[in-house]
Amino acid sequence: MSPQEAAAEITAKKDIEALPASGVWTPILMPVDENYAIDIGRFLEHANAILERGCHGLAIFGTTSEANSFSVNERKALVEAAFEGGISPQQVMIGTGCCALTDSVDLTRHAVSLGCRKVLVLPPFYYKNMSDAGLFRSYAELIERVGDPGLRIFLYHFPQLSGVPISYRLIELLLKDFPSVVAGIKDSSGDWNNTAGLLQRFPDFAVFPGSETYMLQGLRSGGAGCITATANANAGAIRRVYDAWRQSDDTTDTLNERIVAVRTAIANYPLVPALKFLASKFYHDPTWRSVLPPMMPLSDADGADLLKRLESVGFNRA
Residues of the shown chain interacting with a second copy in the complex, contacts defined by CB under 8 A: 36, 63, 68-72, 74, 99-103, 106, 123-128, 130-131, 133-135, 137-138, 141, 160-164, 292-296
CA–CA gap between residue 49 and residue 227 (Å, rounded): 17
Q: How many CA atoms lie within 13 A of 44 on its CB side?
A: 13
Nearest distance in Å: CB 85, a second copy? 22
Phi/psi of residue 177, nearest 5 degrees:
-95, -25
Q: Which amino acid is at 252?
A: T
Residues marked as catalytic: 63, 126, 156, 186
Determine the 3-state secondary structure of 82 from DSSP. helix
Nearest distance in Å: CB 187, a second copy? 18
Burial class, 71, CB count within 10 angstroms (exposed 0-12 / middle 13-18 / buried 19+):
exposed
**Of 277, 262, 257, residue with least CA distance to 310:** 262
CB of 166 or CB of 278, closer to a second copy: 166
Phi/psi of residue 186, nearest 5 degrees:
-100, 115
CA–CA gap between residue 279 and residue 265 (Å, rounded): 16
Nearest distance in Å: CB 290, a second copy? 12
b or e along 12-35 (b: 16 or more beta carbons within 10 Å of the residue's beta carbon)?
bbebbeebbbbbbbbbbbbbbeee
**Of 300, 297, 279, residue with least CA distance to 288:** 279
Nearest distance in Å: CB 282, a second copy? 24
How far from each other are the two terminal CA atoms of the chain, in whole angstroms? 31
Contacting residues for 162 by C-beta, under 8 A, at least 6 apart: 122, 123, 125, 156
CB of 155 or CB of 215, closer to a second copy: 155
Nearest distance in Å: CB 156, a second copy? 12
Nearest distance in Å: CB 225, a second copy? 25
CA–CA gap between residue 40 and residue 79 (Å, rounded): 10
CA–CA gap between residue 196 and residue 217 (Å, rounded): 9
CB of 64 or CB of 280, closer to a second copy: 64
CA–CA gap between residue 204 and residue 157 (Å, rounded): 18
